[in-house]
Amino acid sequence: MVWVKLAVPNLLNDLLFLFQRLNWLSILDLGLVTLIFFAILMMVRDTQAMVLLRGVILLVILLSLLTSMVNLPAFSWLVHSSLPALLLAVPVIFAPEIRRGLERLGRAGSNTVIWNPQSAAANLSMQQAIKSVVTASARLSARQHGALIILQRNDSLQEYIHTGVQMNARVTAELLLQIFYPNTPLHDGAVIIADNQLVAAACVMPLSSSGILTRSPDRQMGLRHRAALGISEASDAIAVVVSEETGSISIAHAGRMIRRLDSERLENILLAFYRPPDLTSNLGGFFRRVFTKPGNSKRQED
């Protein structure tokens, strides 16, 4: 333990030397680096990469302490030689999380639907479409018929529309009930509503890879819920899902899910997404959307 007695005073002297050299520019420099690491950690929080990232950080800290406290030339050479390869491997390992974080950053300033005061007719049509979605969801819930309804916002969903059957029909509750009637040709997959029209049915959605549903108390949620979360992670669309097992209604947006909704609450939430934006809160909304936790929330557990 002699090396410990020698290393600790040296470490304290080094820290004291660093604090003596601090000035306002150094503090600003450290603050910027801290902010970048904080943003990265917030982006990957509640994802499968968080455990891996925690292990990498712990390994780097242990190796740094070991090489600085103990004079091990061969081991230090091995660590310094493998560090560049580790830095190249990090983007490959965390590619899905990095892409998801950058997509959320790019959408953060434009997640609110652009409001045009002269588009009263389009707004009325959207309200009617929402009422049809709410009515259909309530009736599907009562019958325990599974359904997945996607409402497009700013991000285009053309790549997903092409995977289904083109319809370009007016949104009505009766049409949605017919589409999701069990064992009909179009009941599997999702319905996509864009520009106040039901543009396609039986569409294939990307499945969520965040692992949120596997850690939730209700693990009976199946592919519809995973697809709802997946499309909400890949775009700014709103996903309404009706469970075939329980008949419960859920809504997914921005990688979060609110469960066990009634028709009134569902309608209020959907209408809130299409209200005129509050221009005074855009800056605060930008930072909230960038650093929003894309996982479990209290609303998710009701």
Helix axes 24-44, 49-69, angle to 10 degrees: 140
Span 242-248, average pLDDT: 90
User: What pLDDT shows up at residue 293?
Assistant: 47
Which residues contact residue 137 at a Cβ distance below 8 angstroms, ignoring those fewer than 6 apart? Answer: 147, 149, 240, 242, 249, 263, 266
Evaluate if residue 263 carries a pLDDT over 70: yes
76: alpha, beta or left, given left = phi > 0 and alpha = psi -120 to 50?
alpha
User: What pLDDT shows up at residue 118?
Assistant: 43
pTM comes to: 0.62
The CATH architecture that domain 120-281+295-301 belongs to is 3-Layer(aba) Sandwich (3.40)
Q: Which of 62-71, 130-139, 166-175 shows the lowest per-residue confidence on average (mean pLDDT)?
A: 62-71
pLDDT in tens, 85-117: 776 776 676 666 666 666 666 655 554 444 444
**Domain spans of the chain, in order of start:** 2-107, 120-281+295-301
pLDDT in tens, 162-179: 999 999 999 999 999 999
pLDDT in tens, 206-219: 888 666 655 555 55
Average pLDDT in the chain: 76
Evaluate if residue 296 carries a pLDDT over 50: no
Contact criterion met (CB below 8 Å) for 207 and 223: yes
Evaluate if residue 256 carries a pLDDT over 80: yes
pLDDT in tens, 136-145: 999 999 999 9
Q: Which of 231, 278, 234, 275 minimizes the C-alpha distance to 251?
A: 231
User: What pLDDT shows up at residue 3?
Assistant: 46
